[in-house]
Chain A
């Protein structure tokens, strides 16, 4: 009986899709972009990021997505203008994908390769440094993505005929928990 069961299980197992070894869920994240202008320093923050990580065979695939329109700079006009220049109505999501070895998800510094889809463009950032701290089944990642407007072919918006700087660093502070 046991041998029959084992045989059935062995026959059925390869037909099933590969099951995840572990999963991570984003508890909270506050991605914050920073834009510089000679007259202004503006920041836009989102509280609507969602993320999930799926680990398999020692590798974890993470996906984080944030609605573009959820970034709040404290000024409606600036936010609507941001939405326009980033083509946020046409491409409503910023998505960040990365693959990390499961072994690095302890405390320390990690170097991630990020693939970011934003404004209808895809940009890859290599060696983005994140500080990682672990507390029980939670990890906290902090770091800055060195994004620029030109990476996503965004025309720099201008105020009083002066354009903003090309640099658009995005500060990230995320807390994940494992399932």
Chain B
């Protein structure tokens, strides 16, 4: 005969100021059978007791410096049930609490949702950082191969290699940029410090990474047709060097303290 699925009772134990109470001893007694299950709260003040059967339970929470709290709860046949309890300081206990310092419960209360937003932001910015470094490799290679793509010593194969590296750089760059652009923003935070320079430089290398390949494409076509590079395509090399310099400075701005 299959056993019924157990119930997990979990929650948080806090003090009067809603600060977490770690290492609180929790006893859960099944009123019908008298069976007692015990556990302790985690450093974050949370607890979880699994494999409980449906029925009436008496929950007792004891912690140093607090009055023992007893609560009754009826567990239904659901999988999870939450029960948060706030402890009160034992009479005569003089230790101050967060409320004594003037912090409101809202200030002391954490937000899992806000933490999730920060986690996602950091995750995306880490990818942005790594991809940004990876992008620097084809960028440098593109600059090095530029001598074989233009000027007197240019060749068709040199131009093709240069164009392929340039296209790789642009593709990686746009992917890198997207991780920064779409990372969740944290409201009411004013940007300060070297990150301002990093962001400001993006206004140079960002458009540069779009303009440079376009101009490069024009120059490639002109050279492939046996023409000398002319018109707006002549600005390709200058645009590339300005873009690469701004990109390098953007990496340095968040890498080296100055």
Interface residues of A, Cβ cutoff 8 Å to B: 17-18, 20, 39-42, 50-56, 61-63, 65, 67, 73-78, 80-81, 83-85, 87-93, 95, 97, 117, 120-122, 159-161
Q: Which residue of B lies closest to A74 (CB)?
A: B193
Interface residues of B, Cβ cutoff 8 Å to A: 19-20, 22-23, 43-44, 91-92, 94-98, 100-103, 107-112, 114-115, 117-119, 121-122, 125, 129-130, 133, 186, 189-195, 198, 254-257
Residues of A within 8 A of B254 (CB): 77, 159
Do residues A17 and B91 form an inter-chain contact, with CB atoms below 8 A?
yes
How far is A161 from B132 in the complex, measured between Cα atoms in Å? Answer: 12
Q: Which residue of B lies closest to A60 (CB)?
A: B94
B121: contacting residue among A17, A51, A80, CB under 8 A: A80
How far is A102 from B186 in the complex, measured between Cα atoms in Å? Answer: 44
Do residues B44 and A120 form an inter-chain contact, with CB atoms below 8 A?
yes
Q: Which residue of B lies closest to A41 (CB)?
A: B257
The minimal Cβ–Cβ distance linking B34 to chain A, given in whole angstroms, is: 33
Do residues B109 and A80 form an inter-chain contact, with CB atoms below 8 A?
no
How far is A57 from B109 in the complex, measured between Cα atoms in Å? Answer: 33
Provided the pairs A65-B101, A76-B193 are in contact, do residues A121 and B114 lie with their beta carbons within 8 angstroms?
Answer: no
How far is A89 from B109 in the complex, measured between Cα atoms in Å? Answer: 9
How far is A95 from B100 in the complex, measured between Cα atoms in Å? Answer: 13
Do residues A52 and B101 form an inter-chain contact, with CB atoms below 8 A?
yes
Do residues B255 and A160 form an inter-chain contact, with CB atoms below 8 A?
yes
Do residues B43 and A87 form an inter-chain contact, with CB atoms below 8 A?
no
Do residues B19 and A95 form an inter-chain contact, with CB atoms below 8 A?
yes
Residues of A within 8 A of B190 (CB): 76
Provided the pairs A75-B195, A85-B122 are in contact, do residues A63 and B186 lie with their beta carbons within 8 angstroms?
Answer: no
Residues of B within 8 A of A120 (CB): 20, 43-44
B97: contacting residue among A63, A80, A159, CB under 8 A: A63
Do residues A117 and B20 form an inter-chain contact, with CB atoms below 8 A?
yes
Residues of A within 8 A of B122 (CB): 80-81, 84-85
Apart from A63-B101, A121-B43, 8 more pairs, CB < 8 Å: A52-B100, A52-B101, A63-B97, A63-B98, A76-B190, A84-B115, A90-B110, A160-B255
The minimal Cβ–Cβ distance linking B123 to chain A, given in whole angstroms, is: 9
How far is A76 from B118 in the complex, measured between Cα atoms in Å? Answer: 13
Residues of A within 8 A of B112 (CB): 89-90
Do residues B195 and A92 form an inter-chain contact, with CB atoms below 8 A?
no
How far is A83 from B189 in the complex, measured between Cα atoms in Å? Answer: 13
Do residues B191 and A83 form an inter-chain contact, with CB atoms below 8 A?
no
Residues of B within 8 A of A160 (CB): 129, 133, 255
Do residues B98 and A95 form an inter-chain contact, with CB atoms below 8 A?
yes
A-B CB contact pairs (8 Å), 11 listed: A17-B91, A52-B101, A81-B125, A84-B121, A84-B122, A85-B122, A89-B112, A89-B118, A91-B110, A93-B98, A159-B254
Provided the pairs A80-B189, A89-B115 are in contact, do residues A50 and B102 lie with their beta carbons within 8 angstroms?
Answer: yes
A63: contacting residue among B23, B95, B133, CB under 8 A: B95
